[in-house]
Structure 1
C-alpha cells in the first residue's frame, strides 16, 4: 500500500511538473505558424542604426515593444513617433477628450521610458481623424519627420489593414510605406530598410475569435487581410517589460486585453514562452 501511494504521488508530481510545459507547447502550436523563420535580430548589430517607429496612437507601440527593447540593448538608437494623443480611446469611461488626451500623453511618455526610447515625438493630429488630414498631407508630415530625424530603419503598421482595420493604423502604414518606396535611394533620404508589424495566420484566427476590434474591423475577404510575415523576432527576454509597457497605458487596459488575452491570469514565465515573438514584413 505504501509503495502504491509513493508511485501515485510520483505520478501526480510528474503531471504537475509537466503540465505547464504541455500548456506552453499547446499554446505555441495554437499561436504560431512554425514555417515562418525566426530571427534573433531585426537589423545587423555590427553597425549601429537609428530606428524610427511611427504609429498613430499611444499604446500602438506595444505591438513591437519587445523588438524595440532588443534593438536598444544591441546599441541602436530608438526614436518613436505618436501622431495623435488618443483622445477618442474612451474604453476607460473617460468622456472628456481633453482630460483623456492629457492622461494618454503621460502614459505614452511612461511607455517610451520603459522601452528605453532615446526620443519621443508626440504630435497632436486628431485621433480617428487621419482620413480628414488626408494621405498627401500625412505623407508630407512623415517625410518631414524622416528628414528631421535621418533614421536608417523605419517601423510602422502595414498599409493593407493596419493590424486590425483601424483607419488611422492603415493610413499611417500606407503613408510611411509610400514615402519609403518613393524616396528610397534619393539623395538625402537616409532610411535603407522598412519593417511592418503583422501577424501570422494562427494569430489572426484566434484574434477573430477573441478580439472585438478584429471582429468589427478586420476584412472578411482573406485576400484583403494582413500581409504574410517574412520572419519573427524572439522577444521572450523582454516580455516582463512588455507587460509593464502595457500596464503604463492604464486608460486602455480593456482594449489591451484583446492584444494579449488572459495575460493577467497566466504566470508570466509561462505566458512569455507562448507570446515569445513579434512578426514582421519587410517592405521591398
Structure 2
C-alpha cells in the first residue's frame, strides 16, 4: 500500500510538471511579454455600459472572457449584431434555410449567459455587408449609440477584420469612421472604441494552423493593429466554453479559432489561451 502511494504521488508530480511545462510553453508560443496585461477591459469601478458592434452571431466569442469579467465587475453589456449568420456552417444540425433563425436563438442563449442588458439583432445579408453602403451601417451605429448610450464600444478592426472577413471590415470601418467623426461632440457618449486584435505570435501560429487565416488573412498591407493591452480571461474560460456550446451550429468555426481545445483539458487550455487582445482607436481631429 505504501509503495502504491509513493507511485501515485510520483505520477501526480510528473503530471503536474508536464502540465506546467505545457502551459509555459504554450504561453511562450502565443503571447508577447511586452504587451500590458489587465484584469479588466476598463478601469472605472462605477457601472459603465459596454456595447459590442459585430456582424455575426458568435463574433462576441472573441471577447467573451473580457465581457464576462466586465459583467462580474458590475458593468452592463449591450450586444449589437447586424446579421443572423445565415451564410455560416450549419454543423449538420439545421437546414440551410433555417440557419439564420437557429443562430438568432443561439445568440439569445449567449446573451442570457452574459446577462446582457440588451441584444439587438438585425437582418442584413450575411457575407453581403460589403455591398451595403457604409453610410447605412454608420447610421445604424449612430442609432444604436443614441438609443443605448454606451460608454465603451468593442468592434473588430477595420483593416483585416480579424482574419480577413469582409463583413467584419465593413462593420468595423463604419464604427471607426463614426467614432472619429463624433468623438467629443455633444450627445455622443462613447469614451473609447476598442478593436479586437491578436498578438504577433498568435498571428504567426494562426497562419500555420487555422485554415480561415491561411485562406483570408492578407499577405500584404499593415495587417492587424498591434495590441495596446490584453485582458486576462482564465477565470472565465469555463463560462466562455458554455457560450461557445450555445452556438451549437458553429463548432467548426471554434475549432478554427481555438485549435486543439477539445483535445487539451480546459484547466490547461484556459491557462494557455489566457488573454484577449485589444487595440484602442486613436482620435485624429484637426
TM beyond 0.5 = yes
1:235 aligns with 2:233: yes
Distance in structure 2 (CA, Å) of the matches to 1:9 and 1:96: 50
Correspondences of 1:119-138 after superposition (within 5 Å): 119-138=118-137
Per the alignment, residue 253 of structure 2 pairs with: 255
Preserved contact between residue 45 and residue 75 of structure 1 (Cα < 8 Å): no
Per the alignment, residue 46 of structure 1 pairs with: 45
Preserved contact between residue 207 and residue 214 of structure 1 (Cα < 8 Å): yes
- Residues 186, 113 of structure 1: CA spacing in aligned structure 2 closer, same or farther, 3 A cutoff? same
Query: 1:158-183: CA deviations, max 9, x gaps?
Result: 11101000000011111111111110
Query: 1:25-46: CA deviations, max 9, x gaps?
Result: 1111111111101012211232
1:276 aligns with 2:274: yes
Preserved contact between residue 45 and residue 74 of structure 1 (Cα < 8 Å): no
Preserved contact between residue 83 and residue 122 of structure 1 (Cα < 8 Å): yes
Deviation at 1:144, TM superposition (A): 1.2
Preserved contact between residue 164 and residue 213 of structure 2 (Cα < 8 Å): yes
Can you give the 5+ residue segments of structure 1 that lack an aligned partner in the other structure? none
TM-score when normalising by structure 1: 0.94
TM-score when normalising by structure 2: 0.93
Please state whether the residue corresponding to 1:79 is helix, strand or coil.
Answer: strand
Preserved contact between residue 91 and residue 254 of structure 1 (Cα < 8 Å): no
Please state whether the residue corresponding to 1:80 is helix, strand or coil.
Answer: strand
Preserved contact between residue 80 and residue 119 of structure 2 (Cα < 8 Å): yes
Deviation at 1:208, TM superposition (A): 0.8
Aligned alpha-carbon RMSD (Å): 2.0
Can you give the 5+ residue segments of structure 2 that lack an aligned partner in the other structure? none
Preserved contact between residue 90 and residue 99 of structure 2 (Cα < 8 Å): no
Per the alignment, residue 62 of structure 2 pairs with: 63
Distance in structure 1 (CA, Å) of the matches to 2:171 and 2:126: 12
Query: 1:119-159: CA deviations, max 9, x gaps?
Result: 10011111011111121211111111111111111111011
Distance in structure 2 (CA, Å) of the matches to 1:194 and 1:179: 10
